[in-house]
Amino acid sequence: MKKIAVLGGGGTGLTMAADLTLKGHEVTLYEEAGSWDNLRDVKEQGGIRMEGNAGSGFAVISRLTDSLAEAVRGADVILVAMIALRHQQLAEELGPLLTDGQVVCYSAGNCGTILLRRRIPAGVKVITGEMQGNVYPCRLIGKALVTSAFPYMTKKAAAYPAKDTEAFISAMEEVYPCVPAKNVLEAAFNSPNLSIHLAGSLLNTCAIEKNPDFRMYREGISQGILTCIEQVEREKETVMRAMGYEHVSHLGMMKNLAQYGQHEELDAFRQVAGPSSMTHRYIEEDASTGQALMISLAHNLGLELPCMEALVCLAGVINGKDYLAQGRTTGFMGWDGLDADAINRLLYEG
C-alpha cells in the first residue's frame, strides 16, 4: 500500500482517487479552496462512486483537503491531475513543499515536470516524471460519480531528468506500471491529444457552439477531420525524427472510431463528453502547450508545420489569443537556439 496524494479535483483526479482507493492505497485528494465544488460533493456523498471499464465500486477517500501542504505531507507518490494551464502556479507552490524520497507523476505532463524542478530547493532528493497522455479517458458524470471508457493500460513515461527514469518507473510500479520513454518531451509529443484535439475541435466549431453536450468521438469524426489529423501526424513525425524520438501514431484508432456502428469495444469511448465550448481544454490547453511547443521547436530545427500552425492560428482567432507568443514554447522553456542534441542532453541531465 502506498500513501498517495492526488492533486486536482476534476474528473481525472476523482477517478484516480477512487481507483487507487479501491486498489488498497491510502489516498488524499486535494483541490484549492476556490474550486472545491466537486470535493464538496464527495464529502456530502461520503465517497466517490466509480463505474465503467477502469473498475467499479464505492471509494471512501482517506482525506479531502484544500491545503496543498497537508495533501503532500508524508505522501510516497504525488499524482498531478491538473490541466497544463495550472502547472506554473502549482510548481511555485508545490516545489518548496517536497521532501526527500517523494515521487511526483504528472498525467499528462506536457513537460510540467521541468517547471516543477525549477522550484524544488537544492539538495532535496525527489523523483519527478510524467506519463504519455492521460492515465485513462474518464469523466465526472454526476455528483461524486465518475466513469472511464478504458481501464488503465501500461503507458510510456519518463522522468525529468531522464537519468532518473529507471528509478521513476520502479517507484510507480505499485501505482501505475509504466515503460520508459526517452525523455519527457518524447512522452509529451506522443500524447494522442496533440494529434487529435485541435483538429477535431476546430473543424466542429459550429456544432460545439450550438451544443454544450457535444461529444467529438460520438458525432464529430469524419473523413475530412481524419485527413487533417493524418497531416498533423505527418508533420509531427518530421519533428520526432529530427529529435531522434519514436513516433507513435494515433490515426488507426481514430479511423476505427469513425466507423460508426462498428468496433463496439470503442462505444464507451465514443460517449466521452467534450469539448463543451471553444475555451475547453481540448482547445486552450493543446494550442498553448503541446502544439505551441512543437511548432516553436520545429522552427528551431528549420522545419515547417503548416497544418499544425494553421490550427493554432485559428484557435487563437476564435479565442482572441496568440498561443505561439503566450504559450509553452521553446522560448518559455529556455531552449531557443539549442539544437536537438543539446535539448536531449538537457532533458537527460537536468
Residues present in the chain in total: 350
The answer to whether residues 181 and 257 belong to one domain is no
Is 325 a residue whose pLDDT tops 90? yes
The answer to whether residues 167 and 220 belong to one domain is no
The pLDDT assigned to 120 comes to 98
Is 253 a residue whose pLDDT tops 90? yes
Final residue before a domain boundary, out of 129, 162, 188: 188
Final residue before a domain boundary, out of 131, 159, 188: 188
3 state SS of 111: coil
The answer to whether residues 227 and 109 belong to one domain is no
The answer to whether residues 213 and 256 belong to one domain is yes
Q: How far apart are CA 107 and CA 191, in angstroms?
A: 10
Q: Report strand pairing: 63-65 vs 127-131.
A: unpaired
Q: How far apart are CA 313 and CA 319, in angstroms?
A: 10
* Cα 14 to Cα 47, 96, 147, 179, distances in angstroms: 10, 25, 10, 24
DSSP assignment of 74-85 equals T-SEEEE---GG
Q: How far apart are CA 305 and CA 11, in angstroms?
A: 32
Judge if pTM exceeds 0.95.
yes
Report the Cα–Cα distance between both ends of the chain, in Å, rounded: 30
CATH assignment of the domain containing 328: 1.10.1040.10
The answer to whether residues 153 and 206 belong to one domain is no
The answer to whether residues 248 and 277 belong to one domain is yes
The answer to whether residues 151 and 16 belong to one domain is yes
The pLDDT assigned to 108 comes to 86
Beta bridge partners of residue 131, listed in sequence order: 157
The answer to whether residues 218 and 86 belong to one domain is no
Q: Which domain holds residue 45?
A: 3-188
Share of the chain above pLDDT 90, in %: 99
The answer to whether residues 51 and 182 belong to one domain is yes
Q: How much is the average pLDDT of 256-281?
A: 94
Residue 258 — very low, low, confident or very high, per pLDDT cuts 50/70/90?
very high
The answer to whether residues 53 and 72 belong to one domain is yes
Cell output for 53: 471499464
The answer to whether residues 252 and 340 belong to one domain is yes
The pLDDT assigned to 182 comes to 98
pLDDT tens string 160-210 = 999 999 999 999 999 999 999 999 999 999 999 999 999 999 999 999 999
The answer to whether residues 130 and 169 belong to one domain is yes
Beta bridge partners of residue 156, listed in sequence order: 179
Q: Report strand pairing: 155-159 vs 178-180.
A: parallel
Final residue before a domain boundary, out of 139, 155, 188: 188
Residues 6+ apart with CB under 8 A from 171: 77, 103, 127
* Cα 128 to Cα 96, 121, 159, distances in angstroms: 14, 14, 6
CATH assignment of the domain containing 175: 3.40.50.720
Peptide bond into 161 cis (omega under 30): yes
Number of domains into which the chain is organized: 2
Q: How much is the average pLDDT of 240-265?
A: 95
